[in-house]
Chain A
Amino acid sequence: MEKTWFIERPYPHEKDISSCGVIGMINTDGRRVSGRPLRDAMANMHDRGNGLGGGFAAYGIYPGWHDHYCLHVMYEDQGRVSSVEAFLYSKFRVDHVEEIRVAPSRKIRTHPYFRRYFITSPSADELEADGVMADAVMEINQADNGAFVISSGKDMGVFKGVGFPEDIYDFFRLEQYEACIWTAHNRFPTNTPGWWGGAHPFSLLDWSIVHNGEISSYGINKRYLEMFGYVCTLQTDTEVVAYLLDLLVRRHGLSFEQAAAVLAPPLWKDIDAMPAPKRQEYTKMRMIYGSAALNGPFAFLLAYSGGLIGLNDRVKLRPLVVARKDATWYMSSEESAIRVIAPDVDELFAPPAGKPFIITLERTAASAELAAG
C-alpha cells in the first residue's frame, strides 16, 4: 500500500520551518455559518501554498455534543484503529464513535483514515479533565501506533491534510458544518516534509493555531515544553505554539496579553520605558519564560472556543490584516482574500506588531464581565 505519510520520520526534529497563508473569521454574535467563504478566500491565496498542506479549524460544529471532548484521530490506515481504541475505552467513557467521512478526488487520492470520538469529560473539575485529556493525546501521539490526535477540544474540530486548502475543504466535506469561528491555512513547507500531520491547524484541547512564518527557536521551545509533559510529534515548528498556549493560559493562568508578551516579548528597551509595575511584570515574564519566547518571523491566528487572536512577531516580518463587517471580524495574510468574501468592510487595518489583536464572542465577554463583577 502506498504510504500516506512519513511514519518512519527520516528528518531530524531540530530545525523545522514552514511559511504560508492564513485567514480566520469570527462572528462575535456567535452566529454559526458555513466555512465556504474561507474556502473561497483561501482559493484566492492559492499561490501562497504549494499543495503540501491545507487545513481548517472550526468552533461550534458539534452543538449536540458540546459538553463532550471530541477527538479527531488520524490513522495511517484503518488497521491501526484497534490499539488506539483499546486505549481510549480503557481510559474514558466514549459515548459516540464515527468515521469522519471523506470524499477522495483526483486532487487528493491517498489519505489517512479518520475517526472522531465523543468522550464524556473524565472529571467534573475542568482543569483536571483537560489535564487527563492532554496527557492521553500526548500518549497516543508518542506511541508507535500509526495514529495521531489532530484535535481534542469540545465542540470544535480540525480538518487538515496534504493538498491545497480548497481541496482539503472538499475532501472533508466541510460544507456540512457550521461554526462561529473558522480558521484556515495554506501551507508552503520549506524545511520539513509536507505530510498529513504537519499541516495546520495544530490543536490541543480548546486551542488551535495557524501560522505563516518560521519558528527558529523551535528546539528550545520543544525542550522547554518537554519539562511540562508536552511532546512534539508532528515534525513542524508551529506545533509548539499550541502547547505553549495550553501551558501559559490554561495551566499557568496567564491572560492572553501576558501570553502574547511571552511568545513575542517586547524589546528590553521598550520594557525599560514602561511604568514601574508593568516593567516589573514584563521583566519577570522574560526571565521566567525565556525558553517560551518565539524567535523568527510569524503571523499567527490563535483560536479557542471564546475568540480569535491575531499575533505578529514583534518586528512584523509576516503580513496580517484585520477587517470587520458588521459583527464579523476577519484576520488574513492578504486584504484581497478578505475582499473576496466581504467586498465592503466597515473597517480594515494592520494591527501593530507584537501585540495580540483579540476578538471575543459576545457571550464570553458578557460572562467574563459577570465573573469580574
Chain B
Amino acid sequence: MDNPVEEQIEPWVIDAGGMHYRTLNAKIREFAAQGVRRFVLNNVRGQRYICAGLSEGIALDVFGTPGEDLGVFMAGPSITVHGNAQNAVGNTMSDGRILVGGLAGDVIGYAMRGGRIYVRDDVGYRVGIHMKGYADREPTIVVGGTAGDFLGEYMAGGCLVVLGATTDRDRPIVGDHCAAGMHGGRMYLRGRPGLDRLGKEVEVFPLDDQDISRLVPILHDFCQAFDVQLDVFDFSQYCKILPVSTRPYGRLYTY
C-alpha cells in the first residue's frame, strides 16, 4: 500500500525483523502523520520506545517482544502486544491504551498520568510507581496475574488493580513494600496482603458500593480485551488500599 488514505481498511504492515528502533519509530511517525490509523508490527524483537510521544489515535498490533519503554510519553495510541512485553511499558504515558497479552517486566506504568495498561499475566517489580491523576485523568493499570515488590510505590493518583486470576504460580498476589509511600489514588487487590508487606502510609479497607461500581466496568473491559472469562466478580475477595495521610512529608523540611 503506497498511498495510505483516511478511510483505511487494511492495516499498514511493517516487518520489524532486524530493523533498528529509530527506523521503526520513524516509520510509524511518518505513516501516522500521513493518516494511517492501523498498524501491524511483525517480528518485533526488542525495539525500544515504540510509539514514543505519539498523540495520534492510532492502533497497533505488535507481534513479537517489544523492547523497553513501549509507549513512553504517549498520549493517544492503542497498542496490543500479542505476547510478552519487557520493562517500563507506558512510562509516563498520559493517554491511550496498552494491552499486553502475557507477562510484563518491571516498572510498568511509571509516573503514568492517564490512559490504561492491561497486563493479562504477571508483572515484575515497581509497577505503577509514581502514578498520578488529576481531575478526569485517572491512569488505570490492571494486572490479571500477580505483581512483584514495590507495587504502587509513591503512588499519587490513579487506580491499580491486581486480580491474581490468570496465573497459578506459587507467588503471593503482591510482593513486599506494596504501596510504600503511597499518598494518593487507590489500589484494589483480589486478596489480602500481610500488613508487613504494606507501606506505613496506607490502610486496608473492604470495598464499598462506589468501589464496586467503579470496578465492574474495568473488569468487564479487561476480560473483553483478552477474550477471557475470569471468576473475579466476588468483591468480598477484594481489599482496597488507600493512603491515610495526604501529605505524609508535609513537615519534612519544617525543622
> Interface on A for B, CB 8 Å cutoff?
44-45, 47, 269, 273, 315-316, 319, 321, 334-337, 339-340, 348-350, 352-353
Contacts and interface: CB of A to CB of B under 8 A. Distances in A.
A348 B86 contact: no
A355 to B, nearest CB: 12
**Leading 5 A-B pairs by shortest Cβ distance:** A336-B46, A336-B65, A316-B125, A336-B45, A335-B65
Main secondary structure of the interface of A (DSSP, over half): mixed
Contacts of B125: 315-316, 353
Contacts of A336: 44-46, 64-67, 86
Contacts of A350: 103, 105-106, 124, 148
A47 B47 CA distance: 10
Contacts of A47: 21, 48
Contacts of A335: 46, 65, 84, 86, 105
Contacts of A319: 86-87, 105-106, 124
B252 to A, nearest CB: 23
A85 to B, nearest CB: 44
B144 to A, nearest CB: 15
Contacts of B64: 336, 339
Contacts of A315: 125, 149-150
Contacts of B149: 315-316, 353
Contact of A44 (B45, B122, B124, B148): B45
Nearest to A337: B46
B148 A339 contact: no
A173 to B, nearest CB: 24
A58 to B, nearest CB: 24
Contacts of B45: 44, 336, 339-340
Nearest to A316: B125
Contacts of A273: 196
Contact of B67 (A334, A348, A349): A334
Contacts of A348: 84, 103
B46 A45 contact: yes
Contacts of A45: 46
Interface string B103-130: 1011000000000000000101110000
29 contacts: A44-B45, A44-B46, A273-B196, A315-B125, A315-B150, A316-B106, A316-B124, A316-B125, A316-B148, A319-B86, A321-B105, A334-B65, A334-B68, A334-B86, A335-B84, A336-B67, A337-B46, A339-B45, A339-B64, A339-B65, A340-B46, A348-B84, A349-B122, A349-B169, A350-B106, A350-B124, A350-B148, A352-B171, A353-B125
A291 B67 CA distance: 37
B87 A269 contact: no
A320 to B, nearest CB: 10
Contacts of A321: 105
Nearest to B48: A47
B176 to A, nearest CB: 8
Contacts of B46: 44-45, 334-337, 339-340
B152 to A, nearest CB: 15
Interface string B74-96: 00000000001011000000000
Contacts of B87: 319
B64 to A, nearest CB: 7
Contacts of A334: 46, 65, 67-68, 86
Nearest to B107: A319
Contacts of B84: 335, 348
Contacts of A337: 46
B103 A349 contact: yes
A51 to B, nearest CB: 15
Interface in B133-170: 148-150, 169
A56 to B, nearest CB: 20
Contacts of B122: 349
Contacts of B44: 336
Nearest to B105: A319
Interface in B42-78: 44-46, 48, 64-68
Nearest to B47: A336
Nearest to A273: B196
A8 B44 CA distance: 45
A336 B41 CA distance: 15
Contacts of B68: 334
A276 to B, nearest CB: 18
Nearest to B148: A316
A337 B64 CA distance: 11
Contacts of A352: 148, 171
Given A316-B148, A348-B84, 9 more contacts: A44-B46, A315-B125, A319-B124, A334-B65, A335-B84, A335-B86, A348-B103, A350-B103, A350-B106
A47 to B, nearest CB: 7
A321 B196 CA distance: 28
The listed residue with most A CB atoms (<10 A of its CB), out of B44, B87, B171, is B87
